[in-house]
């Protein structure tokens, strides 16, 4: 390929029309016409942030009890690399705060404080908001404008990128606001608040004096231009990170004197001799992020008070200056506890809206975090089924309180939180558990630790990575984990690994049982036979067998299935009537009963079929050195079924068969899985 063709490829991606739109310039009157046609250009920072979030839309949340998942947090900018999972509820709460602030209901005068444990995605959430604001400015609906002064051949930009409407005198703003809000269908109103920055005030006064107060003449020196927010260019998006106390200076927030200009101008109180490049100045019209905000020096926190409540900052040697920006900070638990215990920081606490950002408590959502990090397309090694799931389950268990209900295990609690059904527990129980365990998710294992241990497994010498290897790595790393403060906590985490291992054993036993039980048609036939017998039993009729003979319902068959879903003898009649009533209701609605939608019934049918066929193969023969050709062929068929139905490769399917066979050989099979065979 020649150089010219490469240039052509680049040129094809460039949009000349967009470049022209983004570099639009015009007079103040041109801008007033734009604002009247589209008042959205005059939105404040909070309003623009809300509209940006809503522009990406939302989808139905997968979390129980949560309606919306805002798509901005799917990371539409980098193919989901920074997507946030399992936090739809706190993110909904955050968006509602932004909405209230956009309507001027109070939050716009507060510092939004994201509070949570390390690795809970606080920084990621803010990063997505910043990226969203940057991209939004490139769209016509997100366009925003600022102005420059053209004086004596020199062009001086508004150093804080203020809205040109700030040039309208205070006494005339009410009329302009009314005109802009006529027919405005947003839940918030356009309001012109604040005064010009010191530099613009200087030139405004200079030109008014030159033209004897003629405001229209002054406007001839104003050039309006479109601009976009950019963190990299320090335009409209600011980020401040604490440093060593000796090196911290509040001028980093509000700007500092330009000593070279002082030498030219002759005074340090002239706004032209001041650099309005502090983070508050930079972030005007957009958003400022304070990383680890509670580690800031007290002097910085005082600056935050005025910036949040009054929307003003105090540059050195100048009057208070108006700002328009969303202030978001984030902090960890230890620093927040210090804030709570410090009576001198009462004013700061009063100006803060805390939003808890916990670790997520859904195994499925936690799995998405790890799959995002270890995308199979970028990993050369085969990752066996359930590898990410067991790691996610352990991480979630570490974040849960032990259940107070005597009939509920911590594993079952995790399943309930993930939307699975557990017999005897309803959505009301889940709500009560969450209300009684408000600290869940604010402690436990960070996703970063799990990702590090999975990465260690991926770079090992093994050809593939499986659940048992990852669980071993997770346990091994606990000895050197820097955030485990005591031995009791480490032992608890090790015990949870044992629970996860037991759960994994049940999963692979089930998969092997399904593989032995063979084709799904056999399960369908068994279900149909069961339903026929239940129908005959509840209607006190006979069952017609394959030979056309009438027989009594097969009680032994029905109980052999029902016992596997823990239906006691005393409840069998109730269960069977409920089953037939449910099927009848579906029939009235024109629907067909699908037993596979009932996991418990499906599992019972598979176990029953497995028992009926268990004598066709002895899995314990896998651990024997002598296997006859017929048995070897049956094992090959089972291995192929594991590959087809559950996603194993040849080696991992063989490993699972060996592992399950060893479990049965040790006599560890539970009810529904005979000790002698699997």
C-alpha 616/C-alpha 676 separation (Å) is 12
pLDDT bracket for residue 373 (50, 70, 90): confident
Examine the domain organization and report whether 375 and 507 are in the same domain. yes
Q: Which residues span the domain enclosing 571?
A: 518-615
668 pLDDT above the threshold of 60? no
Residue 202, burial from CB neighbour count under 10 angstroms (0-12, 13-18, 19+): middle
* Domain end call among 573, 591, 615: 615
Report the pLDDT value the prediction gives residue 20, as an integer from 0 to 100.
85
Is 581 contained in some domain? yes
C-alpha 306/C-alpha 86 separation (Å) is 35
C-alpha 107/C-alpha 102 separation (Å) is 8
Report the pLDDT value the prediction gives residue 377, as an integer from 0 to 100.
61
C-alpha 388/C-alpha 367 separation (Å) is 6
What are 484's two structure tokens? 């485990």
Is 609 contained in some domain? yes
Contact 330, 113 (CB under 8 A): yes
Examine the domain organization and report whether 576 and 501 are in the same domain. no
Report the pLDDT value the prediction gives residue 209, as an integer from 0 to 100.
95
Write down the H helix ranges in 310-446.
Answer: 333-341, 346-350, 363-373, 387-397, 410-417, 427-436
Examine the domain organization and report whether 371 and 502 are in the same domain. yes
Kindly report the average pLDDT of the chain as a whole number.
88
* Domain end call among 566, 589, 615: 615
Q: Tell me which of 613 and 187 has the higher pLDDT.
A: 187
Q: What residues does 222 pair with on adjacent strands?
A: 149
DSSP codes joined into one string, 241-284: ----GGG--THHHH-EE-HHHHHHHS-SSSGGGEE--SHHHHTT
Examine the domain organization and report whether 562 and 424 are in the same domain. no
Report the pLDDT value the prediction gives residue 385, as an integer from 0 to 100.
95
Number of domains in the chain: 2
pLDDT bracket for residue 632 (50, 70, 90): confident
Give the mean model confidence (pLDDT) for residues 311-340: 90
Is 433 contained in some domain? yes
Examine the domain organization and report whether 444 and 535 are in the same domain. no
Report the pLDDT value the prediction gives residue 184, as an integer from 0 to 100.
87
* Domain end call among 470, 495, 512: 512
Is 380 contained in some domain? yes
pLDDT bracket for residue 595 (50, 70, 90): confident
Examine the domain organization and report whether 380 and 495 are in the same domain. yes
Q: What residues does 399 pair with on adjacent strands?
A: none
Is 318 contained in some domain? no
Examine the domain organization and report whether 367 and 508 are in the same domain. yes
Examine the domain organization and report whether 496 and 587 are in the same domain. no
Examine the domain organization and report whether 611 and 530 are in the same domain. yes
Examine the domain organization and report whether 403 and 423 are in the same domain. yes
DSSP codes joined into one string, 481-522: -TT--SHHHHHHHHHHHHHHHHHHHHHHHHHHHHHHH--HHH
**Distances, alpha carbon 316 to alpha carbons 198, 259, 326, in Å:** 12, 13, 23
- Which of 13-17, 144-148, 375-379, 579-583 has the largest mean confidence? 144-148
355 pLDDT above the threshold of 70? yes
Residue of 285, 311, 315, 293 whose CA lies nearest to 240: 293
C-alpha 258/C-alpha 266 separation (Å) is 12
pTM for the full model? 0.84
Is 458 contained in some domain? yes
What are the φ/ψ torsions at residue 586 (nearest 5 degrees)? Answer: -65, -40
Is 499 contained in some domain? yes
Q: Tell me which of 599 and 655 has the higher pLDDT.
A: 655
Contact 383, 460 (CB under 8 A): no
Q: Which of 241-245, 456-460, 479-483 has the least mean pLDDT? A: 241-245
Is 427 contained in some domain? yes
pLDDT digits (tens, 9 = 90+) for 123-150: 999 999 999 999 999 999 999 999 999 9
Examine the domain organization and report whether 385 and 503 are in the same domain. yes
Report the pLDDT value the prediction gives residue 605, as an integer from 0 to 100.
83
Beta strands 144-151; 550-551: pairing state: unpaired
The alpha-carbon radius of gyration of the chain (Å, integer) is 33
Q: Tell me which of 318 and 35 has the higher pLDDT.
A: 35
What are 61's two structure tokens? 């949340």
Examine the domain organization and report whether 536 and 478 are in the same domain. no
**Distances, alpha carbon 299 to alpha carbons 245, 349, 425, in Å:** 11, 15, 52
């Amino acid at each position: 390929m020649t150089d010219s063709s490469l240039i052509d490829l680049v040129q094809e991606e460039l949009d000349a029309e967009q470049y022209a739109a983004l570099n639009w310039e015009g007079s103040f009157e041109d801008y007033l016409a734009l604002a009247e046609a589209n008042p959205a250009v005059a939105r404040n920072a909070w309003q623009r942030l809300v509209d940006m979030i809503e522009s990406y839309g939302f989808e139905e949340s997968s979390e129980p009890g949560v309606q919306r998942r805002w798509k901005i947090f799917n990371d539409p900018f980098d193919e989901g690399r920074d997507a946030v999972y399992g936090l739809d509820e706190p993110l909904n709460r955050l968006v509602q705060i932004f909405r209230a602030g956009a309507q001027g209901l109070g939050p716009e005068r507060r510092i939004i404080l994201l509070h949570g444990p390390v690795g809970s995605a606080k920084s990621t959430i803010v990063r997505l908001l910043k990226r969203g604001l940057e991209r939004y400015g490139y769209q016509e609906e997100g366009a925003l404008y600022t102005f420059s002064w053209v004086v004596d051949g020199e062009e001086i930009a508004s150093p804080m990128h203020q809205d040109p409407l700030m040039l309208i005198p205070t006494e005339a703003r009410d009329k302009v606001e009314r005109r802009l809000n006529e027919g405005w269908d947003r839940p918030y109103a356009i309001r012109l608040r604040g005064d010009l920055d010191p530099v613009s005030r200087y030139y405004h006064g200079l030109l008014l004096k030159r033209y004897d107060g003629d405001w229209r003449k002054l406007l001839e020196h104003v050039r309006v231009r479109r601009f976009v927010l950019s963190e990299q260019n320090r335009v409209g998006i600011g980020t401040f990170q604490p440093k060593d106390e000796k090196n911290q200076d509040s001028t980093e927030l509000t700007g500092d004197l330009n000593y070279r200009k002082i030498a030219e101008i002759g005074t340090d109180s002239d706004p032209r001799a001041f650099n309005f490049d502090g983070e508050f100045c930079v972030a005007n019209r957009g958003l400022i992020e304070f990383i680890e905000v509670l580690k800031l020096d007290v002097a910085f926190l005082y600056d935050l008070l005025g910036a949040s409540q009054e929307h003003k900052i105090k540059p050195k040697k100048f009057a208070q200056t108006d700002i328009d920006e969303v202030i978001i900070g984030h902090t960890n638990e230890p620093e927040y506890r210090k804030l709570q215990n410090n009576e001198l920081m009462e004013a700061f606490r009063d100006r803060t809206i805390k939003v808890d950002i916990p670790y997520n408590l859904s195994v499925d959502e936690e799995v998405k975090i790890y799959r995002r990090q270890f995308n199979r397309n970028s990993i050369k090694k085969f990752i066996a089924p359930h590898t990410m799931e067991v790691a996610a389950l352990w991480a979630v268990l570490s974040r849960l309180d032990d259940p107070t209900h005597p009939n509920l295990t911590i594993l079952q609690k995790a399943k309930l939180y993930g939307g699975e059904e557990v017999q005897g527990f309803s959505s009301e129980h889940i709500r009560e558990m969450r209300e009684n365990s408000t600290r869940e998710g604010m402690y436990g294992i960070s996703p970063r630790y799990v990702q590090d241990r999975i990465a260690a497994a991926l770079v090992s010498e093994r050809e593939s990575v499986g659940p048992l290897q990852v669980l071993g790595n997770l346990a091994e790393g606990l000895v050197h984990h820097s955030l485990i403060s005591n031995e009791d906590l480490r032992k608890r985490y090790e015990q949870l690994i044992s629970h996860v291992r037991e759960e994994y054993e049940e999963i692979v036993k089930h998969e092997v049982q399904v593989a032995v039980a063979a084709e799904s048609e056999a399960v369908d036939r068994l279900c149909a036979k069961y339903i026929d017998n239940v129908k005959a039993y509840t209607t006190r009729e006979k069952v017609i067998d394959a030979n056309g003979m009438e027989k009594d319902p097969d009680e032994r068959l029905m109980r052999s299935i029902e016992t596997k879903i823990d239906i006691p003898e005393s409840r069998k009649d109730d269960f069977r009537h409920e089953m037939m009533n449910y099927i009848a209701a579906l029939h009235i609605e024109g629907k067909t009963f699908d037993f596979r939608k009932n996991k418990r019934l499906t599992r019972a049918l598979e176990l029953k079929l497995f028992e009926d066929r268990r004598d066709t193969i002895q899995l314990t023969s896998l651990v024997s050195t002598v296997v006859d050709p017929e048995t070897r062929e049956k094992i090959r068929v089972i291995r192929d079924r594991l590959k087809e139905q559950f996603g194993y490769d040849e080696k991992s399917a063989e490993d699972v068969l060996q592992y399950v066979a060893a479990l049965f050989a040790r006599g560890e099979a539970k009810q529904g899985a005979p000790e002698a065979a699997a």
